[in-house]
Chain A
Amino acid sequence: MPSTRDIRRRITSVKKTAQITNAMSMVAQAKMARAQQAAIGGRPYAELMNRMLGEVVMHAGDFEHPLMETRGGDRRALILVTTDKGMCGAVNTNLLRLVSDEFIKDDTRVISAGRKGAQHATRAGWDLAAEFSYADRPTFAEARVITKMAVDLFESGEVDHVDIVFSNFINTILQKPEVQTLLPITEIKGVSAGVEGEEMSTELPGGTTEFLFEPSAGGVLGELLPHYLNFQVHQILLEAKASEFSSKMVAMKNATDNANNLIKELTLTFNKMRQAAITNELLEITSAQMALGN
């Protein structure tokens, strides 16, 4: 039976934990908002890129590019976008369950973005080709190195497909792991920016003005494609970050609630014990008096 002092000590300790998780939840909320904002900030870029793609695709005619080459082979690279830190609910678990062993074959090269994915890959014995990290505010440069790695693997013929798997941010309480094919580019669609439901239209506009192209429509398109990939990867990183932080926010909110419930229960036990001690003492005093008096 713990003493009242033990219980009091536990209460203070749980209170401190609650304070920490509460702070973490608030920080995650702010960071999530920032990631969403950053994703929306890419919208003008996406619009302009779609406009340009629309024009060049129309004028490029029959266009061939190394990044669009469909090969028969089945060797694959997978970009695994996970978080760096834990304490963010089930995002990583869900994601890794999706890609698990049946998805990853012996010859699948794994490119990990985020430490958790790399740790899991090593433990599971996957063929880890490279590990990248990305900051809480993923920069375009970070997306570029990841894309470059994937493009190198693809162009050198080491792999025939490149897929990317990440947590898609659906809303604050729902994130869904999703696999997208990155390479080869089979069809040039528009890009979209911004997390959460309100997706941008990915139809390519174009055809209102007759443009001249320098060096040529095909040339511009060829140069545009790598940027198109970079932008996609950058948006995916932002999306993954938004998912991470929203999940973390919910997880930490739950932890705070649990801690608060525990505090309530402990306080109740503490009060009961204190009252029992007082009643006991009173009983002793009265019985002693009764023995002395009369």
Chain B
Amino acid sequence: MADTLKLEIVTPESVIYSEDVEMVTLPGSEGETGIYPNHVPLMTKVQSGELVIKRGGAEEILAVGEGFAEITGDHVAILTDNAIDSANVDEAAAEEAKAKAEQRLEEGGDMTEDEAKALNHAILFSAAQLKAKRSRR
């Protein structure tokens, strides 16, 4: 049996990541899910947050937006609108986006549930970007 997983991260614009990895931790709908090779086939929702990848003994962190994951024994495919490799994170922009979303959420006012949800996602996504960026140093 395989001892690595093929991890693919796919966005509408391109394939962001495609490597053989040892383990992935993804922010699933029921909390963080760690996936090792030979995981039981699973389809799950992915929340905005950070994706922790173990590859060749080292750890990598990526920021992903809302999406879905298809997991089988030997591969993990993540379908998401948004994913950013920590190398490409624009720290200032992420910081600003986060502050903006937080401010908007605090002001409250007349906001639909959807809007609040979208803002929460924006906060999570920018926070994950920042964390991913900082962990690189």
Contacts and interface: CB of A to CB of B under 8 A. Distances in A.
- Residue in B8, B28, B77, B81 with the greatest tally of chain A CB atoms within 10 Å: B81
Q: Binding site of B, secondary structure by majority: helix, strand, loop or mixed?
A: strand
Q: What 10 pairs between A and B have smallest CB-CB spacing?
A: A214-B44, A211-B41, A212-B42, A140-B12, A41-B14, A209-B41, A44-B10, A45-B10, A211-B43, A45-B12
Could you say which interface size class chain B belongs to? Answer: 20 to 34
B11 A45 contact: yes
Interface in A6-62: 38, 41-42, 44-45, 48-49, 51-52, 55-56
The interface size bin for chain A is 20 to 34
Interface of A: 38, 41-42, 44-45, 48-49, 51-52, 55-56, 139-140, 144, 209-215, 217, 219-220, 223-224, 227, 230-231, 234
Contact of B43 (A38, A220, A227, A230): A220
Nearest to B70: A52
Given A44-B15, A224-B68, A230-B81, A211 B42 contact: yes
Given A144-B81, A223-B45, A212 B40 contact: yes
B28 to A, nearest CB: 6
B72 interface: yes
A219 B45 contact: yes
Given A212-B40, A214-B29, A227-B81, A48 B45 contact: no
A142 B41 CA distance: 34
Contact of B68 (A52, A140, A231): A52
Contacts of A51: 70, 77
A274 to B, nearest CB: 59
B12 A209 contact: no
Interface string B55-97: 0000000000001101010000101011000000000000000
B13 interface: yes
Given A48-B10, A211-B42, 4 more contacts: A44-B8, A51-B77, A223-B45, A223-B68
Contacts of A215: 29-30, 45
Nearest to A155: B114
Given A42-B13, A52-B70, A223-B68, A212 B45 contact: no
B84 to A, nearest CB: 13
Given A45-B79, A48-B70, A214 B13 contact: no
Contacts of A217: 43
A57 B78 CA distance: 18
18 contacts: A41-B13, A41-B14, A45-B10, A45-B11, A48-B79, A51-B70, A52-B68, A55-B43, A140-B13, A209-B72, A212-B40, A212-B42, A214-B29, A219-B29, A220-B68, A227-B68, A227-B79, A230-B81
